[in-house]
Chains A and B, each alone.
Chain A
C-alpha cells in the first residue's frame, strides 16, 4: 500500500494557481479520455448511466490505494491511483484529477467545527466566482444533495452551475457541488467539479467522487 505524503509542498495561493493549471490539463485529458471511451462495434462501453474504464477489483485497490494525509490537521483520504491523479497538495489541501472522466475533486481542511462549514463554502464560492463566469446556485430538485456527508460524517452541501462563454462564443456549463463536514475540530470541504451535463452520466461521474469522499477519515476517528 502506497501511503504517506508527497514531497511537493505548496502554499494556498499556489494551490489556486495549480487548480487553474489542472483544469487546463483537463482539456487534454478529457479529450483523450473521450477518445478512449469511444465504443468499438462490439464492445459495450459507456452505456447510459455507466462509467468508462476498467474499475479495479477489490483485492487490487487495497494494494494500489494511495492516500493523502494533512500534516497539520490530521485528516486523510484514500483513492485509487488507477483512477485518480493527485495534481497537487499542501499541508491541508489536495487536488485530485480523475483519469477517467471530466471530474475534479478538491479537498480543503480548516480548523473548525460544524458551524464553520458554511463559512468554508462561502469562501470557496467567492474564489470560484473569480474564475467561473455566472456561477449560480442550482436549485433543481435533482441537483440537491440529500444526506450530505464527508467520510460518513453528516455535513452540508450546496450545488452550483456555472456558465462560461468560450472563445468561440459557445456557452459551456459546469456542475459544481460543495460539500463539507467536521468532526468538531477539523472541517473538510470537498469541491466537486464536472463538465458532464447529461444527468445520468453526471450521476455516474459523481459516483467516482463518492468513492473517494467515503474514505475521508479524521485523526483519532
Chain B
C-alpha cells in the first residue's frame, strides 16, 4: 500500500504540473506503446503464468473420471428433449437417472468388466453415475499416469496454489476402449470461476418489490417445506448467513452443507456462496437451502448434479460458477452434458449464470482474450441460462425499466451469444430467436435479471455487509423466485414445474393475459443489443414473477 500511495501521489502531482502548462510536446503519433507478450497458457487451464514445480509424487492419490461408452448416448439426450417437448407423447413423463442408465447407459456386464479392469490396474472405483455415463476412479499418481500413457507434474498457479496436471493428453488404453471413450479430471487446477462483481445494493425488500414477488409473499408463500439446491465450488461460514438473517429478520431453516467429493472449506470463493444463499434467502426466507459443496479442482459439474439427482430432494438448482466454453475440456463437458440431460429428463430446473464478461466470456478470466465466446455450463441446452440487466425502480420501489448489462470500460456485462458446440434445442423458438446470427447452435441467455453492480444485491460475507452484482446474483434470483412459483403451483394443484425452459419459451412466444416477462429493449452485452423479443443480451427478459406464476399455472392446468 505504501508504494502504491507514493506512486499515485507522484502521478497526480505530475498530472497537475502537466495541466498547468509545464509539460512538453507529444512523442509523435508514429510511436506506439510496446505490446506486452501474451502470458503462456498453463496446462489444462485458461491462462496464467503458472510455473512447473516438478514431477508429481507417484505415490500421491489422485482421482480421474472415465467417460463411459453409453449403449445409446444420443437416445439418452433425446429422452430429455422428448420429456420437455410439448408435441411429444412423452411430454412431462419424467424419467429418473437410474432408468436412463438401465435403458441407455453402459450395459451391466460391460460395467462389471470395466470395474475389474480398473481394479486390475491398481485403481479403486469411487463411484459410477446413476445414468452409467461416467466412472470415477482413484489411485496412486504413478499408476494412473501409467494406465493412461501420460505423466503428471505439479505446477504452481498464479494465485500460489499447487496443482497437478498431465504433461500430455491422456490416452485411453486399448483394453478399456470398448467401454471408455475419454478421460478427464487428471488436473486439479481450479478452473471454474464465480460470476460475481462487487458494488451495488438491493435488499430483499427491493428485489421482492421490483420483480413483483409481493403478491406471492402476501399470500403467505415463503418457501415453507420446499427445497432448493446451490452448486458451490467453495463453502461458507454459518455466521455470515446468521448475520444476514438477523439483518433482514429471516427465521428460515439453517442452510445445509452437503459435501461432494470430500467437500471443501470456506476459501476464496466463499463470497460467491454467500451471494447465492443470501439472494435465495431474501426471496424465499423459509425454503430449505441445500448447499452442495465440492472442491474447485478436478470435480466437475457432473459429479455435483449426479449427487443432487441421487439425493432426490429438490427439483430447483442454482449454479453461479462456470468457465469460458472454449476452455472447457471436451471430455469434461461431455460428462457434464450427460448429467444436465439426466436432470432435464427428471424434471429438474437448473438456473445457470451466463457469465460476467458480456459477449467476450474468456476475457473475464484473461483481459487479453477477446474471443467472442459464451460461458459453460450456461450453454448447455438442458439448463436455463440467466443473463444480466441493469435495473431501475421508481421511488416507491416498483419496477421502472431495465437495460442489458454492459459496462464497456470495466469489461463487464451479461454473458450471451452462440455456443460453439451445443445444438439449439427444439423448444428454443419464438420472436427474436431466429435471427441473422442464428446458426443452429445453442443461443443464450434464456432469461435475465438484475446483475449490474449498480443494481446488485446486499450480501453478508466474511463478517461484513457488502453489495455484489453479476449474473451469479441473477441465477439464484431466478431459482429463489421459482421456489415461490412452485409453491404457488402446488397450492393451485397445477402439478410439477419440471424443466422450465420449454415452458418459458412457450409463454414468451404468445400473448399472455398476465405478461410474464419484461422485454428489455435498451443496453446490450458489449456486442449484442437488447431488442424486442428474445435477444443475445437478455434472452426473453426478466420476470414479473407473479404474472409468470399465474401464466405457468394456467399453462400447466391446460
Enumerate chain A interface residues (CB-CB to B < 8 A): 1, 19-20, 23-24, 26-27, 30-31, 34-35, 38-39, 43-44, 49-51, 55-59, 62-63, 102, 129-142, 144-149, 152, 154, 157, 161-168, 170-174, 177, 179, 192, 195-199, 203-204, 206-207, 209-211, 213-214
Of B15, B31, B391, most buried by chain A (CB within 10 Å of CB) is: B15
B408 CB within 8 Å of chain A: yes
How far apart are the CA atoms of A63 and B464 in the complex, in Å?
25
Interface with A: B42-50, B200-208, B221-229, B341-349, which one?
A: B200-208
Structural contact, A166 and B410, CB atoms closer than 8 A: no
A-B contact pairs, 20 of them (CB 8 A): A23-B15, A27-B13, A38-B5, A55-B467, A57-B203, A129-B26, A134-B27, A136-B26, A136-B33, A141-B367, A141-B370, A147-B526, A152-B523, A164-B11, A170-B10, A199-B367, A207-B199, A207-B409, A210-B409, A210-B410
Chain A residue numbers with a CB within 8 Å of B7 are 172, 197
> Number of residue pairs across A and B with beta carbons under 8 Å?
229
Q: Whole-angstrom distance from the CB of A181 to the nearest CB of chain B?
A: 11
Task: A173 to B7: give the CA distance in the assembly, Å.
Answer: 10
Within 8 Å by CB of B198, from A50, A56, A144, A154, lies A50
Query: B458 in the interface, Cβ–Cβ < 8 Å?
Result: yes
Interface residue? B16 (CB, 8 A): yes
User: Given A30-B8, A138-B33, A195-B11, do A164 and B17 touch, yes or no (CB 8 Å)?
Assistant: yes
Cβ contact within 8 Å between B11 and A203: no
Q: A24-B16, A152-B403, A206-B410 are in contact. Are A172 and B395 (CB under 8 A)?
A: no
Instruction: Given A24-B19, A59-B206, A172-B11, verify A148-B408 contact (CB < 8 Å).
Output: yes
Decide: A57 and B458 in contact? CB cutoff 8 A.
yes
Q: Is the CB of B16 within 8 A of A27?
A: yes
Chain B nearest CB, measured from A29 CB (Å): 9
In the complex, B56 has a CB within 8 A of chain A? no
Q: For the complex, count residues of B whose C-beta is within 8 A of A.
A: 75
Task: Tell me if B25 counts as interface (CB < 8 A to partner A).
Answer: yes
**B318-354 interface code vs A (CB 8 A; 1 in, 0 out):** 0000000000000000000000000000000000000
A219 to B344, CA, bound (A): 48
Interface centre among A39, A62, A136, A147 (most CB of B within 10 A): A147
Q: For the complex, what is the distance from the CA of A198 to the CA of B202, rounded to whole Å?
A: 29
Q: Is the CB of B524 within 8 A of A147?
A: yes
In Å, the complex CA distance between A192 and B368 comes to 21
Q: Which single member of B33, B390, B458, B527 contacts A214 (CB below 8 Å)?
A: B390
Question: Which residues from A are CB-within-8-Å of B411?
Answer: 142, 146, 203
Report yes or no: B200 in contact with A55, Cβ–Cβ below 8 A.
yes
Q: Is B12 in contact with A26, judged by CB distance below 8 angstroms? A: yes
B457-470 CB mask vs A (1 if < 8 Å, else 0) is 01000101001000
Residues of A within 8 A of B452 (CB): 214
Distance between A174 CB and nearest chain B CB, rounded to angstroms: 6
Could you list 13 further interchain pairs (A-B, Cβ under 8 angstroms) beyond the known A55-B201, A58-B454, A164-B14? A24-B20, A50-B198, A58-B393, A62-B393, A133-B25, A136-B31, A136-B32, A145-B409, A146-B358, A149-B408, A164-B18, A197-B7, A197-B11
